[in-house]
Structure 1
């Protein structure tokens, strides 16, 4: 692949030119993430006898209950269920695991349950929890350059590995997060624009760093109301990132994302995919959601 060509940067710090620095910010990767969206085959489900429905639900809970509880820190390895609002589906399952192989294994185990006969996949999304290190990258790239370390040389790679290893330990709880207990989830994929007039990938790293810093300040103002998990999906799925927002009030999703629309990085460079909003379904209430032994009506007809 040809190297990314950036406009010449004349800015000089401490005797080195920023044009000699890598344009790619360092990233940390953690848990592998799979979102699964389904329609529920309510008509076929209602055709089952109540005892048969009970059996199918109990079998599913036997698989899902350990995943809902998770392994605990430092790597929770959890799954959660959400009742989707609107026409895009009925149920969304979100899985956090150590590896993509672990996700695939659980996906296959779920597919072998009798409940899966009533789940019609409508979409899915694969990604990896990602923390972008824009500010740290600029600082370390400058240090490497000051010491005469050539980009992508063995010495450079060794220095980068040391930085990433150290940061991964410090940020382990963010790289392998627990699924928040919040009542609502908003998930959406997104890209950075690559158009004729605005192309994120030809903007200098220091300008991207500035914009991302300003972008992050908005999110911090909502930190007491929204838990955000960003996952990278370049090379894994159709978009570049996945965003999970967890909150106890869904209106805060609107307020946060609306405010970010006015931010430079979103207003000029952001492209958004479909939004999925769901209400948390704890396994203790799965019988109720599926109209099981409580005799309740399904959430959707």
Structure 2
């Protein structure tokens, strides 16, 4: 049995799955058995970690499904993936993208006149029930960190002010420094993709945008019950 070491912060894991085309050539009985086994593993994991499922069928060419998992240890995430590998769907699963991050309070929120629209604790996460989730890895340039905290704070204040124009867009920011290739993973929940599009266009015109090194790939995800996500892949 894997020893689980609980972290001081919550661990986010965004795992994007693609189901190999060979899967669709199996009989309906074989596919149903594989999907039921996969769903049972996820449902058991959901008893001790938060699991949100999203469909990307028709949204992204190389991704079918996202599981956004929030746990208290890295081992919990590893154990879930190991169990999914052993299901009958496992041999047909590919993971073209996977992002690991931890929760942490932003250094810019305490002095911001318009704090970001996200959770108020560095250790907890409260995902909403919005039908759409937009996720992407994010990295700042090294020049950003060479600026003084006061300069960065001023730019982030403008950033937050723009965000407050779009109250139906909620951001979940998590931190990957030293743990994964990106510095942050940002996940925006909304009931209106048009609002998110307008928000991003407006943020492009802020001074802070100059210091963005990477903010792709971008994933537009639709919240669905897990079994609906699995049925959508065929």
Residue of structure 1 in register with 2:28 after alignment: 50
TM-score by length of 1: 0.66
Q: Between Structure 1 and Structure 2, whose CA radius of gyration is higher?
A: 1
State the match for 2:134 in structure 1.
Answer: 186
The aligned residue for residue 228 of structure 1 is 171
Cα deviation 1:127-164 (Å, max 9, x = unaligned): 112221336489xxxxxxxxxxxxxxxxxxxxxxxxxx
* Pair 1:64-2:42 in alignment: yes
In structure 2, relative to structure 1, the CA distance for the partners of 1:284 and 1:39 (3 Å cut) is closer
Q: Give the secondary-structure state (helix, strand or coil) at the position aligned to 1:236.
A: coil
Cα distance change, pair 262–286 in 1 and its aligned pair in 2 (3 A): closer
Q: Select the residue among 9, 12, 15 that pairs with 1:33.
A: 12
- Per the normalisation by structure 2, the TM-score is 0.83
Matching of residues 253-268 of structure 1 within 5 Å: 253-266=196-209, 268=210
- Once superposed, which parts of structure 1, at least 4 consecutive aligned residues long, lie more than 6 Å away? none
Give deviations 1:188-213, integer Å, cap 9, x for gaps.
1111122xxxx111111111112112
How many angstroms apart in 1 are the aligned matches of 2:32 and 2:217?
34
1:93 Cα offset (Å): 1.8
Where 2:164 maps in the other structure, the secondary structure is helix
Hey, what's the Cα distance between the residues in 2 that align with 1:216 and 1:236?
A: 26
Secondary structure of the residue that 1:211 maps to in structure 2?
helix
Name the structure 2 match of 1:107. Answer: 81
Find the residue that maps to 1:207 and give its secondary structure.
helix
Which residue number corresponds to residue 162 of structure 2? 218
Q: Cα–Cα, structure 1 residues 110 and 288, in superposed 2: closer, same or farther, change >3 Å?
A: closer
SS at match of 1:209: helix
Q: Does 1:278 align with 2:208?
A: no
Instruction: Map 1:141-160; keep pairs closer than 5 Å.
Output: none
Unaligned runs of 5+ in 2: 1-7, 113-118
Q: How much is the aligned-residue C-alpha RMSD, in angstroms? A: 2.3
- Aligned position for 2:211: 269
